[in-house]
Amino acid sequence: MIGVPARPPLDWESMKFAFLPKPWDQPVAELEAAGHTHVALEDNPDLLLFRGGPEHFPERLPESVKVVQVCYAGVEALVEAGTLAAHDVRWANAAGLYDDTVAESTLALLLAVLHRHKAVSREWNNLELFTSTRYLFDSTRLALIGAGGIGATLISYLAPFGVEVTAVNRSGRPVEGAARTLAMSDPEFPALWGEADVFVLLAPLTEETRHIVGADALAQMRSNAVVINVGRGPLVDTEALADALEEGRIAGAGLDVTEPEPLPADHRLWDLDTCVITPHTANIPRYMKARIGGLALENWELFAAGERMRTEVEVERGY
């Protein structure tokens, strides 16, 4: 694999770990119960759990550190800051660890947009709002841009609504439950912007996916189109989206992530009844604290066995 050197197994039944910038009690207790020792960074840990941004990452790591386990699925900020490339360690993220929480939050956001919850919560017996409410079973064509673990879980949640899903991923490898799967490089992909009723964005942020929903894509969308972004804020060109919503060229948007983030309090998207915004809450710390310890243990055991970690990051790709 790219960026994953082969290494012989390590004869370590226990290791030392640090947790920055501030440890969570639950995963620390899990690792300690498994026979590992929580230490400060200066005490030469073997593994570092990290839950901060680039500004929190140490400028230098002790040579003892072999693995950095990031508590988030996305490591784009660390990639852009050059943090991953600057340190000769193996990196793991939390990809797949929060599939269920994020998929359920995505479905909730989509339903809130279609049902016009933001608008109807302020007005009673408004006939115009009643007639503009839509149901998911009537929005039959859904394009899922970024069909990894979260996307696969979301497809299973969508099944009772009879939605026809076109999954779009990097490889074009078929996604279970999708009516069809396209690679982003597939010549059929651009036509999707004019075909689907709903677009759900769950892709990682790369140069290929940055502003994938921009002015050009929005101009091709149907007037009833809804855009849901629970992936990364920069997947959407914020100003182009705001223009399309203000001009009524698309029907609605739901955003759990934005560019910039947080979205400024005076941004025009906040005032649009057709745009529902949640403050990056598709997953919450309670589940991160409950799950990251087990993943760190699994990844360390795989590393120590000389194998690829389950959520190993390929530094060159950035995910």
Q: Which of 84, 70, 66, 92 is nearest to 10 (CA)?
A: 66
Catalytic entry in 38, 141, 280, 310: 280
- The C-alpha atoms of residue 118 and residue 152 are separated, in whole angstroms, by 28
- The C-alpha atoms of residue 55 and residue 73 are separated, in whole angstroms, by 18
Cβ burial of 139 (10 Å; 0-12, 13-18, 19+) is buried
**What DSSP character marks residue 276?**
E
- Residue 280: active-site member: yes
Catalytic entry in 87, 116, 232, 291: 232
Rg of the chain, C-alpha, whole Å: 21
* Count of other CB atoms within 10 angstroms of residue 291: 19
Q: Which of 91, 86, 58, 60 is nearest to 74 (CA)?
A: 91
**Residue 298 C-beta-side C-alpha neighbours within 13 Å:** 13
**If you count DSSP H runs as helices and E runs as strands, how many of each does the chain have, helices first?**
10, 12
CA angle 241, 211, 50 (to 5 degrees): 115
> Residue 279 has which token pair?
């403050």
Does 190 sit behind a cis peptide bond, omega within 30 degrees of 0 on the bond before it?
Answer: no
Catalytic entry in 246, 261, 298, 307: 261
- The C-alpha atoms of residue 225 and residue 304 are separated, in whole angstroms, by 49
* Count of other CB atoms within 10 angstroms of residue 292: 25
Whole-number Cα distances in Å, 291 to 24, 148, 215, 257: 11, 19, 39, 22
Q: Which residues are catalytic?
A: 232, 261, 280
